[in-house]
Chains A and B, each alone.
Chain A
Amino acid sequence: MTYYLNHLIRNERWDDLIRYHAKHERYSAYNNICLNYALAKKGELGNKMFCFYQQGLSGLIPQADKKYLTNMQLSDIFIATGCPNVAESYLLEELTTARRYSNPRVLKNLIRISEMKGEFDLANKYLDIMSKAPMYADWSKKEKAEMNSGKVITYNVDSLLSTTGIESLFKNSIEIGNRTAWEYLGASYLLGKENDRFCSFIKEETPSSYLANLPTHFQEALLIFCGENNIPEGVDINADIKNRYKKFRELFEKKDMSTIYRDYKDTYWNYAINTSLR
C-alpha cells in the first residue's frame, strides 16, 4: 500500500489518491499525510480535510526519522509550502544514503528546489544526470527547456531553525504569498485544536484577500472558537455553514452524538468533539 500511494504521488494522481481514501474509514498516519498532501496540491486542504478521517498532527506532517519515505514526504510538503532549504536538507540526506548516491525521485525534487532558489547551474547538473535515465530522458529535456520560466522565490526573512521552528517557516512563506503554507499552518492548528492560535492566525497571519472566502473548515472552526458574534473583521461566514452550525449546536446540546456522527462527519465540529488528541 505504501508503495502504491508513493506511486500515486510520484505521478501526481491526486484525484485517485483522494478517491482511495474516501472508501476507507480508518488508515495509517502515512496514508493521512499522503491524503492531506494530495488535498493541498488540489487547493482543497482547508475545504475537505475533515471530510476524511483525521488523526491529529501526525497525519499532517511526519516526524523526521531518516527513512526514505518520510524524507520524501517531508521534502514534498516543504517544497509545496515554499521552504526549499528545509526540503533540500531531507533530500541531501536521502541522496547520501541512496545506492550509488542517486535516486530519480530525489533528484526530481532537488531540481524543483534548485529552480525555486534560482540555482540553475545546480538544476542543470541534476537534469543532465536525469537525462541519462531512459525513463526520465524526455522529462529532463522538457524541464530544461522550461527551466528559466519559473519564478524564483525571494524571501524577506531568514532564521536558523533552532532559534525558530516550522511555524515561523510557514509564516515566512505566507508573507511571500504561498497559500499552501497558509493552509498547512491553519490545518495544523485545527488538528491540534489550538483555539487561540487559530484565531490569532486568522487575525494576524491571514492575507486580507483570503478573508472573505475562507476554506470551509476554517469557517467552521471560527464559529466554535470565536463564537458567531465574535467572528474576526473581514471574515464572511457562508450562510449554509451558519445554518448547519445552528442545527449542530441543537444536537450537541441534546447530546445526540450518533446523529452528529452520522450527519456532521464531514465537518471540523465532529473532529473537535469526537477525536481525542494523543
Chain B
Amino acid sequence: MKTYINKIIPICTAVVLFSCDKAKEPDNVYEEVTEYNIYPDYKGVTIPKNIAPLTFDASSSSSVAVVKSKDNKWVIECREGRFRPSKSLWREITDTAAGDSLTITLYEEDSKGWKRYAPLSIYVSEDRIDPYLVYRKLAPGYTLWNCMGIYQRNVENYDEVPLMENKLNDNNCMNCHTFRLNDPKEMIFHQRKVHDGTYIKRNGKQEQLTFRMTNGEKVPSLTYMFWHPSGRYVAFSSNDTHQNYHSTDKNRIEVYDSASDIYVYDMNTKELFTSPLLKNDGNFQTYPAFSPDGKSLYYCSAEAKQMPEEYDKVKYNLLRLDFDPESKTFGNKPDTIYNAVVNDGSAKFPRISPDGKRLMYTVSSYGNFSIWHRDADLKTINLETMEEENTDAINSDDVDSYHSWDSSSRWVVIASRRENGLYTQPYIAHVDERGNYGKPFLLPQSSTVKYKESLISYNLPEFIKEKVR
C-alpha cells in the first residue's frame, strides 16, 4: 500500500502542476522591443514540417511566447526565457502552419509589467526532410583523438544513438562514413590505427573490404569515397595527406596532399581500377563523386606542386568525366565545371542533388581541406542550365564546408564554423525547385545551451532516409 501511495503522490502533484501551467498572452504591455537576439538564431529561417521542436534562449527572465499561424494561436510559457515547446505541441504547430509562415512573439516580464519583442517569423515548408542525420563527433584536436563516435540523430526529435563509438574498438579513429543514395542499409567507413581497414555494412551484414589492383600493382591506402548509385562500385581517392601548423595565419592548420589519385572499386570482383586521367603524376586528383544516374564521375584536380612549399598555389578544378558502368570505362576528356585559374579559387566536395539538378561544392582560395579555411563557401551550379546559383543566403563569414543533400533534394546540411570559428556545427538549409536558398538553421537540440557548452565538432553530416539498424 505504501509503495502504491509513493507512486501516486508524485503523479498527482505533476498533474496539478502542469494543469496550472496554462500560460496566457499578456495584455499590459508597457514597452515594445525591436532589437534583440535569440540563440540559436532562428529568425527568418525555413524549416521542414517534420523537424524537432526549435528551442532557443530569448531573454534571461521568465517570459511567454505567442506562436501564431494563419488561423491558430498557441501561448507557451518560457521558463528562464527559454523557448522549449513540447514535442506534441510543436508537431501540432508545424502541421497547422505547413506551407506558410508562423510568427513567434515573445513577452518578457519585469517589475513594471510586460515588454513585447517584435515578432520573429519562421517559414514552415511542406517539404519533409530525411528523418536521420549521421555525423561523427570529436574534439577538434590536430593529431590526437580520444573519445570519438559516429552517431545517428533523429531530426524529428532529439534522439541520438551511436552507430559506432571508439570505446568499443580500442579508442580507434574512425572516419568517412558514407551511404549509398541516403540509404541506411548500405554504409562504408574507415578505421585507422588498430583494426584498420575499410568496412562495409550492407543489408545487415558487416565485413572488411579487401582490395586488389587490376594491374597487379600495390593497393594504395584509400581515403575519401563515394558510392555509385548501382551499389556495385565505390569511387575512392588515395591521398598522401600531411598536416602542418600556420605560424600566425587566421587559418590554424594546413592539411594538404603531396600526391593523390582516384580509383573505382568493383564490389563484385574486389578490384580497383582507374584511368590515366584519374591517376597521373602531373596532377592531384581527389574527392570523387558519382552523378545520381551513375554515368558521370565528378572530381577535383589540381596541377601538382612542390609541397609543402607551394601549398597556397594548389588550386583544384572541378571536373566531370564520363563513366560507363557496364564496361567499367571512362571518357577520354573531362569537362571543366569549375575552372580554378579563371575563378582564382579551389573547388572541393562535389555533391550532386539526388534529383540530378544541382551540384553543390565548396570553394576557398586554395587547397582542398576547407574545414580549416576560413574563406570556404558553398557554391551551386544548376546542372540543367550550367549556371551558378546565388548561394549567399547559406554562406557566412567563416568556414562553410562539408555538405550533404537529403534524398528529396530540398534540404542540404552544412558543416559550418560560423558561430565561433573553430567548433563545427550542422546547419540545415532549404533549397526550392527554382534554386532559392533559405537561411540555414542550426540542428535543434533539446537544450538551448547544448552547442554553447560543447567542445566537440560535428563532422561529416550525412542525411539518411531511415534509421541504420
Chain A partners chain B:
yes
Point out residues on A near B: beta carbons under 8 Å: 66, 83-86, 88-89, 92-93, 95-98, 101-102, 117, 119, 121-122, 124-125, 128-129, 132, 155, 157-164, 168-169, 172
Task: Report the nearest A residue to B252, measured CB to CB.
Answer: A85
Smallest Cβ distance from A16 to chain B, in angstroms?
A: 32
B246 within 8 A of A: yes
CB<8 Å pairs between A and B, sample of 17? A86-B247, A92-B139, A93-B143, A95-B139, A97-B146, A121-B419, A128-B452, A129-B453, A155-B248, A157-B247, A157-B248, A159-B247, A160-B244, A160-B245, A161-B246, A172-B247, A172-B248
Point out residues on B near A: beta carbons under 8 Å: 138-147, 242, 244-250, 252-254, 308-309, 311, 419-423, 452-453, 455-456
Smallest Cβ distance from B417 to chain A, in angstroms?
A: 10
Name the B residues within 8 Å of A96 (CB-CB).
Answer: 138-141, 144-146
Known: A92-B141, A93-B144, A160-B254. 8 other contacts (CB 8 A): A85-B246, A95-B455, A96-B141, A101-B139, A119-B422, A122-B420, A125-B423, A160-B308
**B249/A161 in contact, CB under 8 A:** no
Smallest Cβ distance from B400 to chain A, in angstroms?
A: 16
Name the B residues within 8 Å of A132 (CB-CB).
Answer: 453
Task: Report the nearest A residue to B249, measured CB to CB.
Answer: A158
Kindly state the separation between the CA atoms of A125 and B244 in the bound complex, as whole angstroms: 26
Best-surrounded residue of A92, A122, A160, A168 (most CB of chain B within 10 A): A160
Name the B residues within 8 Å of A159 (CB-CB).
Answer: 246-247
The answer to whether A122 and B254 touch (CB under 8 A), given A101-B455, A168-B247, is no
Name the B residues within 8 Å of A86 (CB-CB).
Answer: 245, 247
Task: Report the nearest A residue to B456, measured CB to CB.
Answer: A101
Kindly state the separation between the CA atoms of A97 and B146 in the bound complex, as whole angstroms: 5
Kindly state the separation between the CA atoms of A48 and B421 in the bound complex, as whole angstroms: 41
Kindly state the separation between the CA atoms of A98 and B147 in the bound complex, as whole angstroms: 10
Name the A residues within 8 Å of B140 (CB-CB).
Answer: 92, 96
Name the A residues within 8 Å of B253 (CB-CB).
Answer: 89
**B421/A164 in contact, CB under 8 A:** no
Partner of A164, one of B247, B250, B419: B247
The answer to whether A119 and B311 touch (CB under 8 A), given A85-B247, A85-B248, A164-B247, is no
Smallest Cβ distance from A164 to chain B, in angstroms?
A: 7
Partner of B252, one of A83, A88, A93, A129: A88
**A162/B244 in contact, CB under 8 A:** yes
Name the B residues within 8 Å of A172 (CB-CB).
Answer: 247-248
Kindly state the separation between the CA atoms of A132 and B452 in the bound complex, as whole angstroms: 12
Name the B residues within 8 Å of A89 (CB-CB).
Answer: 142, 245, 252-253
Q: How many A-B residue pairs have CB under 8 A?
A: 97
Kindly state the separation between the CA atoms of A211 and B245 in the bound complex, as whole angstroms: 33
Smallest Cβ distance from B166 to chain A, in angstroms?
A: 12
**B311/A160 in contact, CB under 8 A:** yes
Chain A interface, DSSP helix/strand/loop, else mixed: helix
Kindly state the separation between the CA atoms of A88 and B252 in the bound complex, as whole angstroms: 9
The answer to whether A121 and B141 touch (CB under 8 A), given A85-B248, A128-B453, A164-B247, is no
Kindly state the separation between the CA atoms of A204 and B214 in the bound complex, as whole angstroms: 59
Name the B residues within 8 Å of A163 (CB-CB).
Answer: 308-309
Task: Report the nearest B residue to A132, measured CB to CB.
Answer: B453
**B419/A169 in contact, CB under 8 A:** no
**A158/B248 in contact, CB under 8 A:** yes
Partner of B422, one of A122, A162, A164, A169: A122
Kindly state the separation between the CA atoms of A85 and B245 in the bound complex, as whole angstroms: 7
Name the B residues within 8 Å of A117 (CB-CB).
Answer: 250
**A119/B421 in contact, CB under 8 A:** yes
Kindly state the separation between the CA atoms of A129 and B252 in the bound complex, as whole angstroms: 22
Best-surrounded residue of A128, A155, A161, A169 (most CB of chain B within 10 A): A161
Kindly state the separation between the CA atoms of A119 and B245 in the bound complex, as whole angstroms: 18
The 9 closest A-B pairs by CB, nearest first: A96-B141, A155-B248, A96-B139, A158-B249, A122-B420, A101-B455, A160-B244, A121-B420, A161-B245
Smallest Cβ distance from A75 to chain B, in angstroms?
A: 13
Task: Report the nearest A residue to B148, measured CB to CB.
Answer: A96
Task: Report the nearest A residue to B454, measured CB to CB.
Answer: A101
Kindly state the separation between the CA atoms of A37 and B252 in the bound complex, as whole angstroms: 25
Kindly state the separation between the CA atoms of A83 and B250 in the bound complex, as whole angstroms: 12
Name the B residues within 8 Å of A158 (CB-CB).
Answer: 246-249
Name the B residues within 8 Å of A161 (CB-CB).
Answer: 244-247
**B421/A121 in contact, CB under 8 A:** yes
Name the B residues within 8 Å of A97 (CB-CB).
Answer: 141, 144, 146
Name the B residues within 8 Å of A84 (CB-CB).
Answer: 248
Smallest Cβ distance from A74 to chain B, in angstroms?
A: 12
Kindly state the separation between the CA atoms of A120 and B309 in the bound complex, as whole angstroms: 31
Kindly state the separation between the CA atoms of A17 and B248 in the bound complex, as whole angstroms: 31
Name the A residues within 8 Å of B456 (CB-CB).
Answer: 101
The answer to whether A102 and B455 touch (CB under 8 A), given A93-B143, A96-B145, A122-B420, is yes
Smallest Cβ distance from B371 to chain A, in angstroms?
A: 14
Kindly state the separation between the CA atoms of A159 and B249 in the bound complex, as whole angstroms: 8
Kindly state the separation between the CA atoms of A169 and B139 in the bound complex, as whole angstroms: 26
